[in-house]
Every structure is written in C-alpha cells, then in structure tokens.
Amino acid sequence: MIPIPAKFYCTRKFKKVTHCLFDLDGTVLDSEVVYQRAIRSICEKYGKTYSKEVEVDCYGATDRDLSETIVQRVLLPISVDDFEHQLTDLVGKDVANAPLQPGAERLLTHLYDSKVPIALATNSTERSVRIAAQARPKLFALFNHKVCATDPEVDRGKPNPDIYLVAASRFPTKPKPAQCIVFEDSEIGVKAAVAAGMQVVMVPDRRLDRQKTREATVVLRSLRDFKPEEFGLPPFPETPAKGKPASARIERDETRRDDKSENIETKKDKPIKPTGQLVENMARTSKMSKLRAQMSALMDKKVLAATSSVATR
C-alpha cells in the first residue's frame, strides 16, 4: 500500500465547474467507522472473521451490495436480507453520532454562502440520510436536494453513474455533467462519477491502496486541502493568522479608524480626567490666586486712605 503524499496529486487538468455533488459516508460524515463496527459485530455473532481485504472491497457500496458481498465471502449462515436488516438497525442507532470529516462543514458552508449549488448523492438509504439530517439539520439544509440509492429514479447504485446523473438533473438549471464536480472517498464512488462524465475530488481512506485512486481528478488528504479557485469556484476568504476572516479584520480596522476620527473631533468637548499631579497643581494655583486677591485688596485700602488724607488737607 502506497501512502498518500502530504500534498495532493492529480491525474488530469482541471476544468471550471458550476455545481458540486457530495457523497455522504466517508466524505461528509466519518461514518465508515460506524458501518465497519456494525459489520464486524454481526460477523462475530456468528463466529466469523471480517478481514481487512473484504472491508476495503466494500468501501462505498450500497447496503444491498455490501450485504451480498459479506454474506458470500465471509460465509455467514444467514440470508442477505437478514444481514441487511441487522446492518440497517445497528447503523441507524449510531450514524447520528458520526463526526464530520475534517473540512467538510467549512467547504459546504463556503459553497452555500458563495451561492454555488450543492447536492447530496449517496449510496446510503433514505432512512440513514434522514437520521443523519435530523442530527445536523442546519448542515443538511445547505443541500439543494438529496439523492439516495433507494430513490425511485435510481435504477442502480454506485459504481454506476445513475445517482450522480439524477442528482445533477434535479438542479433548477440542469447543468451538464461536465459542469459538476463530485467529492468522494471510495473507489466505487469515483468510478460512478467518472462514468457520469464528471470531475471528482477524492479523499480516500488511508488504508486504501493508491492504485484504487488513479481515476480521480485530484486526490487530497483532507477536504481542508481543497482549493475551489482551481475549478473556477469562489476561493475561500483570506484567513489572518489569528483565525478571523479578512472581512472581519477589515471591519475591525475600519471601526478603529472611525473611533480615532471621533476622538479627534470631540477631544475639545470631552472633560479631562484630573490626575493626582494635576489636582495638586490646581490646588497650588488656587492658593496663590487667593493671596494675590488679598494683596490687591490691601493695596486698594492703602490707596483709598491716602486719597482721603490728601482731600482733608
């Protein structure tokens, strides 16, 4: 297995897009761990081992395809329907607590705020999506629409292109496949996007062999590494060192400038708060003023007396 490099690598030139489609499990939600834990629990219940090889081959599959693969390859003594039913129950209890993948919320919010149409296109069932959406209503409200493997218009799940083609067709502007970019984590999802004629950004599981990522347009370690401007999308706002957006910094600087202007204009009108030294100086000045007043009054009396004496003579 070849590790993914720190920086992404790409297999072809980027083309400008206008719409974005997101896979759910493993791409927006770190829910693959929920699925793998549930599958392992079912296998152990029947004394079977769920190998890493089978696990990797099941990444991104629909619940039905995944159930068929595991029942056959692990040799479980139950039907595919029984396995899928148990899987659905176990996953449904935990998927609401699945954490978001790094950079997912930032990217989705940025695209929504930039008025870039986004939609969810997943191999998960409608029930799983509904449970996840109920746990994060604000985040899932950012999507224009959601298309699941159980959608009536979807005949086949990934790796077939149906889910992505249906998702693209439901945007009001009906973009062409070439105008859409897909965000995926699995080889199955990448194949579906490529078959639909769309570019695809892949953030694979670190255990996935690099050879299984070759069909992706670009491979990233995290959604935090995605650069929207490379696909003609609005770039992320500049982020200063302290973590505040450039707009916030500019607004803060403008406020400071306004405050300085106000201080200059109103400085003469504002009372000066006296310091200790100033109070002492003012007291001393006041005392001297009283002495001057007394001396002036005394001099006035002497002048008046002298004047009266002259007049008497």
23, 63, 65, 185: the catalytic one is 23
25, 63, 151, 162: the catalytic one is 25
- Please count the other Cβ atoms lying within 10 Å of the Cβ belonging to residue 146: 21
Say which residues have a Cβ less than 8 Å from residue 43's Cβ, sequence separation at least 6. Answer: 49, 50, 70, 74, 76
Task: Give catalytic status of residue 162 as yes or no.
Answer: no
What is residue 100's three-state secondary structure? strand
Residue 167 tokens, joined:
């998702």
Q: Could you give the dihedral angle defined by the CA atoms of residues 22, 24, 30 and 35, in that order, rounded to the nearest 10 degrees?
A: -150
Task: Give catalytic status of residue 25 as yes or no.
Answer: yes
Residue 92 tokens, joined:
């449904």
Annotate 179-198 with b (16+ C-beta within 10 A) or e (fewer): bbbbbbbbbbbbbbbbbbeb
What is residue 237's three-state secondary structure? coil
How is residue 155 annotated by DSSP?
Answer: S
- Please count the other Cβ atoms lying within 10 Å of the Cβ belonging to residue 228: 18
CA angle 259, 260, 266 (to 5 degrees): 85
The radius of gyration of the chain from alpha carbons, rounded to an integer in Å, stands at 37
Enumerate the active-site residues.
Answer: 23, 25
